[in-house]
Amino acid sequence: MESTPAPGENIAVLRKARGLGQAKLARLAGLSLSYLSKIEVGTRPVTPPVVAAVAKAMRVPTARIYGQPFLGVTEQAELLDDLRDSVRRYTLPREDVPPPALLAAAVDRAMRLRAETRYLELLAMLPKLLGQVTATALSSPGEAGAWAHVVDVYGCAYAAAHRMAQPDLADMIVSRQAWAAQQTWNPEAEVATAWNEAGTYQSAGQYADGISIVERAISKYENVARGNSPAKAMSLGSLHLRGVVLASRHKDKEAAADHLRKAHEYAELVQSDLLWHNLTFGPENTALYELAAHIELGKPDKAVEMGTVLVAAPPRTLTPNRLGRMYIDIARARLDTRDYSGAEEALDKAFAVSPQMTEVHPMAREVIRVLFVLHQRTRPALMTMAKRTGLSN
């Protein structure tokens, strides 16, 4: 069926290479034997916490489980190589300092492409733009606005590297982003960096460490922020949303509920969702994180209930990257409740609003794979999805 290995198949290959039986791996990873068997044959999706548990049991990075979602030599690979070279030369930009207005417009475009999940266009412009914003900042020591541009562009680069399944590059980008944030006192830039740093731990399945990063960033920001400004609500609310994901995947119900409660409190102060420093925060995005937490904590029925309302009236203030993720989460919840046609419908909406993200998103690919295996091969729309994600020729 598959042209590129799916996580379940990768687990089976790695397990056999290490001479592990299914029963032993299941025991080491804290899974039932039946569940692991279904994952390997493709009738159950591989969720992020399962990937983390199996990777830890077999002592491999989570990236080895997810595998490479692209086929052969791709345009993405060439663009990623250019980005990697630019990130490596972070203190040695080759680009000249452009006029301020042109640079600001380019940074705004990069953040818009990220929000719209137009990753190929974003990757094409990032190497040059990284050089330009860095050259500008280095020529203006201590200029907060110039270094904020560097932080924002690295934030765009992190999103692209993360979504294109390049964890080593994402880690390097976060270290560069932290370097830029420390060049001048800018607490919001440091929040954006902490958000991505926690994301690297999330991707690696190291949820407790990610929570520590979030809690440290919250404490640090609270020590310098005063009053109830929109910047404070956006910053702390966004950090709490990252905490919701990490805690729910760590199966810490109390911590997840606490982060969610505080996120809702800050969302009331913002009232309408805003995008700032590549972070989206507000009531509608907070609802999406609540839906995802229900899934991670084993309550797909509640997620389906929330999803029904959201599909009927999709949030209007959210960007395509958030809407696409919403539909992917709804598809996963419907799959868990055996609403296969509903899962396919949600995936179709994800492709419509955010095609480049949906094609490579691990959870979207897993839902498609399971639907494909569960006697859905004759459905034309599903066959198209499988081909777009490289799961079928």
Check which CATH number belongs to the domain holding 308 and give it: 1.25.40
Q: Which of 127-136, 286-295, 328-337, 380-389 has the lowest mean pLDDT?
A: 380-389
Q: Give the type of residue at 256.
A: A
What would the mean pLDDT of 329-342 be, rounded to a whole number? 96
Q: What is the pLDDT of residue 94?
A: 94
Residues in CB range of 155: below 8 A, 6 or more apart:
111, 114, 177, 192, 193, 196, 277, 278
| DSSP string covering 121-162 | HHHHHHHHHHHHHHHHHHTSTT-HHHHHHHHHHHHHHHHHHH
Residue 314 is encoded by which pair of tokens? 């999709």
Residues 293 and 322 in one domain: no
Residue 150 pLDDT more than 90? yes
Residues in CB range of 257: below 8 A, 6 or more apart:
none
In a domain, residue 311? The reply is yes
Q: Write phi, then psi, for 165 (nearest 5 degrees).
A: 60, 50
- Torsion sign across C-alpha atoms 59, 80, 176, 221: negative
In a domain, residue 146? The reply is yes
Residues 123 and 31 in one domain: no
End of a domain among 243, 274, 298? 298
Confidence of residue 377 (pLDDT cuts 50, 70, 90): low
CB 94 within 8 A of CB 128: no
Residue 257 is encoded by which pair of tokens? 């509920």
Residues 289 and 263 in one domain: yes
- Torsion sign across C-alpha atoms 317, 322, 325, 329: negative
Q: What is the pLDDT of residue 316?
A: 87
CA distances from 45 to 62, 134, 383 (A): 15, 42, 18
3-class secondary-structure state, position 72: coil
Confidence of residue 116 (pLDDT cuts 50, 70, 90): very high
Residue 332 is encoded by which pair of tokens? 């996963």
Confidence of residue 235 (pLDDT cuts 50, 70, 90): very high
Q: Which domain holds residue 212?
A: 186-298
Residue 359 pLDDT more than 70? yes
Q: Give the type of residue at 242.
A: R
What is the 3-state composition of the chain as percent helix, strand, coil, each rounded to the nearest 5? Answer: 75, 0, 25
CB 158 within 8 A of CB 174: yes
Residues 294 and 193 in one domain: yes
3-class secondary-structure state, position 240: helix
Residues 256 and 308 in one domain: no
Rg (CA), the chain: 21
Residues in CB range of 220: below 8 A, 6 or more apart:
187, 190
End of a domain among 234, 265, 298? 298
Residue 348 is encoded by which pair of tokens? 């179709």
Residues in CB range of 134: below 8 A, 6 or more apart:
90, 91, 93, 150, 180
In a domain, residue 2? The reply is no
In a domain, residue 236? The reply is yes
Residue 238 is encoded by which pair of tokens? 């966004």
Chain centroid, CA 255 distance in Å = 20
What would the mean pLDDT of 46-72 be, rounded to a whole number? 84
CA distances from 306 to 13, 223, 224, 227, 355 (A): 37, 36, 36, 33, 23
Report helix angle 340-353 to 320-336, nearest 10: 170
Residues 283 and 200 in one domain: yes
In a domain, residue 1? The reply is no
Q: What is the pLDDT of residues 162-221, one digit of tens each?
A: 998 899 999 999 999 999 999 988 899 999 999 999 999 999 999 999 999 999 999 999
Residues 99 and 195 in one domain: no
What is the enclosing helix (H) or strand (E) of 254?
A: helix 253-270
End of a domain among 38, 66, 94? 66
Residues 15 and 112 in one domain: no
Residues 220 and 277 in one domain: yes
Residues 314 and 325 in one domain: yes
Number of domains, the chain:
4
What is the enclosing helix (H) or strand (E) of 275?
A: strand 274-276
Residue 72 pLDDT more than 80? no
Report helix angle 144-163 to 75-88, nearest 10: 140
Residues 245 and 179 in one domain: no
What would the mean pLDDT of 313-333 be, rounded to a whole number? 95
Residues 292 and 317 in one domain: no
- Average pLDDT taken over every residue of the chain: 92
**Residue 172: Cβ within 10 Å count:** 19
Q: What is the pLDDT of residue 372?
A: 86
3-class secondary-structure state, position 385: helix
Residue 312 is encoded by which pair of tokens? 């009927």
If we measure between CA atoms, which residue out of 144, 164, 142 comes closest to residue 152?
144
d(CA 393, CA 384): 10
Residue 393 pLDDT more than 90? no
Confidence of residue 75 (pLDDT cuts 50, 70, 90): low
